Each structure stands twice: as structure tokens, then as C-alpha cells.
Amino acid sequence: MSNLINVKKEAPIGFFDSGIGGLSVLREAIKLLPRENFIYFGDSKNAPYGTKTVDEIKRLSYAAADFLLGKGVKAIVIACNTATSAAASDLRSTYPEIPIIGIEPAIKPAVQLNRRGKILIMATPLTISEKKFNNLMKSFENTSEIIPIPCAGLAELIESGNIESLEIRRFLEIKLKPYLSFDISTIVLGCTHYPFIKDHLSAIVGEDIPIIDGSFGTAKQLRRLLIQKDLINESIEAGKIEIFNSLADSKIIDLSYRLLKQ
């Protein structure tokens, strides 16, 4: 088990996700903390997490966390909504000395926009079925009408890397068609894979509908915890980024670096 007493400020920050989706969160963290070093682990071999059991997701999350701790990280970001729902609490109990930050659907920011209409939340089936998610949704039921939309299969389509594909566009058109006659206030993206297909969504629902996710809020929480624990990297140089993936395939690594630059 790691010991934060011996952790240096220059130590990297670890990120993990079921695949490439968490890169959308890492992208925001790099903007906010440009001098930090980052290690990203994508578990594309076992993707998607959103259709697995809670126990399976916990096992995979522990394996990812152990990989990152073996690299000497000073903090861990669970850059996956599904893994956050299933495993964040257990991971924090197991590693109380390591700052562990999860990601949740950005329902509160959507409600605070105070726009007329329904809030649509797109997420994996497991995220939507989790008690934590339903409690979060219920906490706003008196102020907003929130409609969860389970999107089984979407993360896999994005994971294939062909973000601009007609297959993804058609999937979204079918999924959103029942709601296009409504007044839509906001679309909340409850899976870290989904920000990569925002352009598709805007083309379907209209450029005037805000599409938001929890990436920026997660990056801000990471910065807050690093400041609180006096772990901010004080180097004057830009940080380094290393990406690993459970798939032994250089193509997924190349795709990951490309997505970071989008």
C-alpha cells in the first residue's frame, strides 16, 4: 500500500477508465493542471463496464488502481461514471491515504442553467440502475423533470475509434427520436465516452441545446484535493503524459493520444 508521507509532488496522477472515454476527463485536467504528470490506464480489453455486474466492475477497478499505484501515483481519478458508481467507495476504504476522485453525471449544473424543458441524461444501463445515481436524480425531482436514457452499446461504438461514423449517428437518432418532440432543456452526458460525440448530438437536437458532462467538475475537484494535501507539482515545465491500455495494440494507444488533442 502506498504512503502519501513519502510521495513527491512531482509524482504522477493516475487516471483509469473502461477504455478511451476517460481521456475526455484527462483532457480537462491537463488544461487545469498543465505542470502535472499523468498516467492513464484504459481497460479496453474488458470494455464496456456498463453492462457488467457490480462485482466484476469492482474487480476490474481494483486491478486498474493497483496498476496505477504500482507506477507511484499520488492520486487516482476514476474517469468512468460506471466504475465510480460501483467501486469508488470501496477503493477509498482500501486506500484511505490516496486521494481518489470519481465522476458523476452533471445533473446539478444542468439544473442550475434554469432552462425550460426536460433534462435528458444519457448513461450506461448500470449507471442508471445504481442507487447512487437514482438518489442524485431524486434530489432534483422537485425542481426539474429529468429523464434517464440508457445507451447500451454506445460506448462500444465510440471505443471502436470511428467517432464520425454514420453508425454512431444512426444510433443516436434512434435513441433520441422519442424525445425530439419535447422541450429539451439540457442533455447531460453520464458516460465519459460520450463527450467525443457531442457534434453528432448537436446536429440531432440543435446547436442551441446545451450538452454538458462532469469532466470539468472532476478536474476542479482533483485540483482542490491536491492543494488541500499540498501535492501540487511546482515544476515550471509542462507535465508528461503516459498512456497504457490492457489491449496489446499500438492502434488504441495512437487513438488515445489523438483524442487527447481533439
By annotation, the residues acting in catalysis are 80, 191
DSSP state of 239: P
Which parts of the chain fold into alpha helices (H)?
Answer: 23-32, 54-70, 81-94, 107-112, 125-129, 131-138, 154-159, 166-176, 198-205, 215-228, 250-260
Sign of CA dihedral 60, 79, 135, 119: negative
- The contacts of residue 140 (CB under 8 Å, 6+ apart) are 107, 108, 111, 146
3-state secondary structure of 7: coil
Distances (CA, A) of 235 to 33, 39, 169, 224: 11, 17, 43, 18
Q: Which residue has the cell 507511484?
A: 72
